[in-house]
Amino acid sequence: MTREHRMRACAMHRVAGAALGMAAMCMPAPSLAQGSAPTGAMPHPVRAAASTARSVTPLSDGWRFLFGEAPDGVTGADFDDREWQPVSLPHSWNRMGNYTAQRAESTDVRQGTGWYRLRLDKPVPAKGKRAILQFDGVGAIADLWVNGQHVGQHKGAFSRFRFDITDFLKPGLPNIIVVRADNSKPEPGSTTEHVIPLGGDFFIHGGLYRGVSLIETDAASIDLMDHGGPGIYVSTPSVTAERAEVSVLTRLRNSGAKPRKLAVVAHIADADGRTVANATVPARQLGAGETHELTTSLVLTNPRLWQGRADPYLYSVTVELREGARVIDSVTEPLGVRSFAWDADKGFILNDKPMRLHGASRHQDWQGKGWALSPEDHATDMAIMAEMGVNTVRHAHYQHAQEWSDLADQSGMVVKAELPFVHQSAFDESLPAPELVANARAQLTELIRQNYNHPSIMLWSVGNEIDIGAAIMALMKGGKGAPAKSRDMLVELNALAKREDPSRPTLYADCCEGIPSPLSRPGAQVLNDVTDVVGLNRYFGWYYGQPQDLSRALDALHARYPGRAMTVTEYGAGGAFTQHTDNPLGGPVNANGRPHPEEFQAWVHEENWKALQKAPFLSASWIWNMFDFASTAREEGEAYDLNDKGLVSHDRKTRKDAFYFYKAQWSDEPVLYLTGRRYIDRAYPVVDVRAYSNAPRASLTVNGQAIGTVDCPDRICVWPGVRLRAGNNQVAASAERDGKVLTDSVSWTAPDATKGLHVRAGHLTGLTTSAGLRFGSDNFFTGGQAPELRMAGRTRVAPSNVTGTGDPELYASYRQGAFSYDLPLPDGRWTVTLHMFEPEADTAKAAARSITVLANGKPVLTGFNPAKAAGGSLKAVTRSFDLASQGGLKLDFNGGDSGAVVSAISVIPAR
């Protein structure tokens, strides 16, 4: 390992340690180590034996880049690339995702080919050495040329791969490295037609978005060509508090022209670098061009166990390949000693103790960077998740960087690692193409071998919503089209995962079985019985149903699959920073479009978490998603090209309210957080103040006046009906937890209560009329229903079709049925105006409606028919009346079998 490479790894470990509140050690790594050495578990320095082990040189700088079709002679040594863009790695040409209603000018969603050229000035390897070029991730197909000769191709955007370039190098001149990165859109006839994923709600970024290294090693080495794996594979077949059996499988390769007599020595070192176990496999002959594998057994007495977040203790395993007294190659990998199980009734069990796993999924893109992340970016993500109290991470929906998985090992996260078999298995109703299945098998093999040694990984996910693409296509065709034919491919991949790694169970994440949605299609193949663990992506309260429906759904599927452990692999809701509601129950949300009030997202999470806690058999749950992430299929909330279901902004700078809800639930850190802090300009002078806290009770003051102390059941503190003064208000909360005094405060601006209030019925957000009246979102109601939104194309809400008004959007929603409003008005005389229309186009139904309204128990409207009064359906009509109020105003609406209807209520002082 070069000094530069060691310093970069050291910097990553320091950032991670500081961000996670851990002591960050950065001990000198021996030159024999491959890649970045594991934190806290450095190998004991090599004994006196002479070492000519491998060297690793990062190739980060000096690259030239061009996007587009290949110029003539682009792979040749004489090609002039001086006009190309100079870039450093990691690099991607794609950038997307912004918090505006339109796509930003800086967006780059080009798909196609990008060309990279590098002058490699290092001398060619000495005789008996090999030069291996390692790519940590290229989106999505990579082709490599050295000095004009095509070396090879790799298909798959997420895994590491290597090429032996020894025989392509020339002495005496700079060697020219050329890479073509291709992220063309998968479609019939495209270059990526048979490369998973074929689709999904995320964007495949193009480029050399992870690092590239040159590895020089002896011709006889620990195998570098084993599907990008480390060449040594560490497992713990038996673990007790007194004794741990450690098995090390080592794969060897002799790329030379003559036989070699080689021995293998394995060491286990503790976190302080002390050797605690070792074993030697006597020398044996490895013929020219041969490969060989052998297993070494070691024993740890009284091992210190890897205990997740409580104590993520890491040993390290170093395997040396020796020829006589010389160490000719060496690899060091982490070792976390633990046992685990996924039980159908008891849930997840770590080291013989049940542990409820709660966490979130993570996509790897950052605003302004795409997929081209630094070690510090990975460390920041892990620190944010640790801050929230996460104890498990789902890798969505692909293999993540090794730096990230190292951090998971070090911070004690239980990880579900995923194959990018997502969304669909074919572009039509046919069976998956053999080439696609072969590519999925290759990517799964790479996923498992490259990540086998990470103790944090305890599940292999072999598919995610692989039938949803066909269901969506059928809906777009008016419900026509056969279900997906993905089961056989899933069965094959599951079997491969079990062969590659019998120690870890498999999981499939299902979208649709039994949900109240058109995506749950008749005749769809059953997929939840294929893998060991059932994963359920369920969006009750967001895309369908109500949050409380989740409990019944989980119970039903637990009964249907009684022998399988069960997890909720996705749940959640979108949330915008600039869109707000006064009451998340006030109306339906446009889940696939706009708006996405931040308070609605928080409510969905509050209610879903209640349901999840009621399922004692549940092993794990993962929020979708930890961070807002790029998706060109999205125009939603306040954002463009972003999925806004994250609990943290795309740039990682701002945490949403829901983040603090989970921090109060999961974190050991004392928490007190007032919600709605971004809803500064309030629509109403009376609000329910809410806070999240893991303190038993909290107190509130408004403008220095004590409001009261309340208990915080479910870690939610509520002060209902708090009155604000006109203008600015200082709202402050305080609590005590574990002897620590907690405080939080917000500033809100409120309207003048003496000027009345205006309610937009049946809608989550308010509006301002052409006359300048500000209507808040639906609030202060009891009963009734708000109908579903009228949708137009591309997930947009259709404009109001009500006529006869200068403010048709005021009539775009309504509350109907039998309901009441308790309006928190000051005492006085008021003029109340009811805004109504008849929504039924059917003449008979419209004629049957008869609305009665009581104001503080007295009739103010009797037998009112909106269609008759307005001259037809879908025509605006208003009715006004004056009254005196004392202690507020209660309006009761009834309309018999047809129900009452109101679109808005306006109350102003009577003249």
Count of C-beta atoms within a 10 Å radius of residue 514: 15
Token pair 């669909």 in the structure block, residue: 424
Cα–Cα distance measured from residue 792 to residue 358, given in angstroms and rounded to the nearest whole number: 37
399 secondary structure, DSSP code: P
Count of C-beta atoms within a 10 Å radius of residue 308: 25
Sign for the pseudo-dihedral over CA of 539, 543, 547, 552: negative
Q: Are 456 and 406 within 8 A, CB to CB?
A: no
Selected catalytic residue, list 320, 333, 465, 838: 465
Q: Are 835 and 771 within 8 A, CB to CB?
A: no
Cα–Cα distance measured from residue 753 to residue 772, given in angstroms and rounded to the nearest whole number: 17
Q: Kindly tell me the burial class for residue 94, based on how many C-beta atoms sit within 10 Å of its own C-beta (0-12, 13-18, 19 or more).
A: buried
Exposed e or buried b for every residue in 65-77, given b needs 16+ CB within 10 A?
bbbeeeeeebbee
| Contacts with 428 (C-beta within 8 Å, 6 or more apart), sequence order | none
Cα–Cα distance measured from residue 322 to residue 329, given in angstroms and rounded to the nearest whole number: 7
Cα–Cα distance measured from residue 178 to residue 77, given in angstroms and rounded to the nearest whole number: 9
For the CA atoms of 802, 805, 808, 814, the dihedral, rounded to the nearest 10 degrees, stands at: -70
Q: Quick one: which of 791, 765, 793, 794 has its CA closest to 777?
A: 765
For the CA atoms of 468, 473, 478, 483, the dihedral, rounded to the nearest 10 degrees, stands at: -60
DSSP, collapsed to helix, strand or coil, labels residue 180 as strand
Q: Are 411 and 309 within 8 A, CB to CB?
A: yes
Strands (E), 527-667: 533-537, 565-570, 618-623, 629-636, 639-643
| Contacts with 561 (C-beta within 8 Å, 6 or more apart), sequence order | 528, 529, 534
Q: Is 606 a catalytic residue?
A: no
Partners of 507 in the β-ladder: 461, 533
169 secondary structure, DSSP code: -
Q: Kindly tell me the burial class for residue 152, based on how many C-beta atoms sit within 10 Å of its own C-beta (0-12, 13-18, 19 or more).
A: middle
For the CA atoms of 264, 270, 271, 273, the dihedral, rounded to the nearest 10 degrees, stands at: -60
Phi, psi angle pair for 410, to nearest 5°: -70, -30
Q: Quick one: which of 537, 677, 560, 674 has its CA closest to 608?
A: 537
Count of C-beta atoms within a 10 Å radius of residue 196: 33
437 secondary structure, DSSP code: H
Cα–Cα distance measured from residue 541 to residue 588, given in angstroms and rounded to the nearest whole number: 10
Q: Quick one: which of 228, 715, 660 has its CA closest to 444?
A: 228
3-state secondary structure 496-564: HHHHHCCCCCEEEEECCCCCCCCCCCCCCCCCCCCCCEEEEECCECCCECCCCHHHHHHHHHHHHCCCC
Exposed e or buried b for every residue in 359-379, given b needs 16+ CB within 10 A?
bbbbbbbbbebbbbbbbebbb
Cα–Cα distance measured from residue 284 to residue 789, given in angstroms and rounded to the nearest whole number: 74
DSSP, collapsed to helix, strand or coil, labels residue 10 as helix
**Which residues are catalytically annotated?**
465
